[in-house]
Amino acid sequence: MPIAPIIYALSDSIGETAEMVARATASQFDSGKFEIIRIPYISTVAQIEEALKTAAKQPSVICHTLVSVELREAFASLAKNYNIPTIDIMGQMIQAVQTVTTLPPKLKPGLVHKLDQDYFRRVEAVEFAVKYDDGKNPWGILKADIVIIGVSRTSKTPLSMYLAHKKIKVANVPMVPEVLPPEELFKVESHRIVGLVINPLKLNEIRTERLKAMGLASDANYANVERISEELEYAKVIMRKLRCPIIDVSNKAIEETANKILEIIQKNQKLI
Which CATH number is 13's domain given? 3.40.50
Residue 1 lies in a domain: no
- Considering the domain architecture, whether residues 118 and 82 belong to the same structural domain is answered as no
pLDDT value, residue 174: 97
- Quote the number of domains for the chain: 2
Q: Where are the beta strands (DSSP E) in the chain?
A: 6-10, 35-39, 60-64, 86-88, 146-150, 170-174, 193-197, 246-248
- Considering the domain architecture, whether residues 185 and 254 belong to the same structural domain is answered as yes
- pTM above the 0.75 mark? no
- Considering the domain architecture, whether residues 166 and 121 belong to the same structural domain is answered as yes
- Considering the domain architecture, whether residues 266 and 185 belong to the same structural domain is answered as yes
| SS3 label, residue 108 | coil
- Considering the domain architecture, whether residues 49 and 87 belong to the same structural domain is answered as yes
- Considering the domain architecture, whether residues 68 and 149 belong to the same structural domain is answered as no
Domain boundary, last residue among 46, 80, 109: 109
Domain boundary, last residue among 87, 109, 131: 109
Residue 196 lies in a domain: yes
Residue 45 lies in a domain: yes
pLDDT value, residue 10: 93
Residue 10 lies in a domain: yes
- Considering the domain architecture, whether residues 205 and 256 belong to the same structural domain is answered as yes
Report the helix count and the strand count for the chain, using DSSP H and E.
10, 8
- Considering the domain architecture, whether residues 156 and 264 belong to the same structural domain is answered as yes
Domain boundary, last residue among 57, 89, 109: 109
Q: Which domain holds residue 78?
A: 6-109
pLDDT value, residue 1: 46
- Considering the domain architecture, whether residues 36 and 143 belong to the same structural domain is answered as no
Residue 265 lies in a domain: yes
Terminal CA-CA length for the chain: 62
- Considering the domain architecture, whether residues 28 and 123 belong to the same structural domain is answered as no
pLDDT value, residue 270: 65
- Considering the domain architecture, whether residues 87 and 127 belong to the same structural domain is answered as no
- Considering the domain architecture, whether residues 176 and 78 belong to the same structural domain is answered as no
pLDDT tens per residue across all 272 residues of the chain = 456 679 999 998 888 888 888 888 888 876 557 889 999 989 999 999 999 999 998 889 999 999 888 898 899 999 989 989 999 888 777 777 778 887 777 767 666 566 567 778 888 999 999 999 999 899 999 999 999 999 999 999 999 999 999 999 999 999 999 999 999 999 999 999 999 999 999 999 999 999 988 888 887 899 999 999 999 999 999 999 999 999 999 999 999 999 999 999 988 876 54
pLDDT value, residue 35: 87
Rg of the chain's alpha carbons, rounded to an integer?
A: 29
Q: Are 259 and 163 in contact (CB under 8 A)?
A: no
Full strand arrangement of the beta sheet holding 86-88: 35-39, 6-10, 60-64, 86-88
User: What is each CA distance from 114 to 119, 120, 167, 188, 270, in whole angstroms?
Assistant: 9, 10, 13, 31, 23
The closest alpha carbon to 156, from 264, 164, 204, 180, belongs to 164
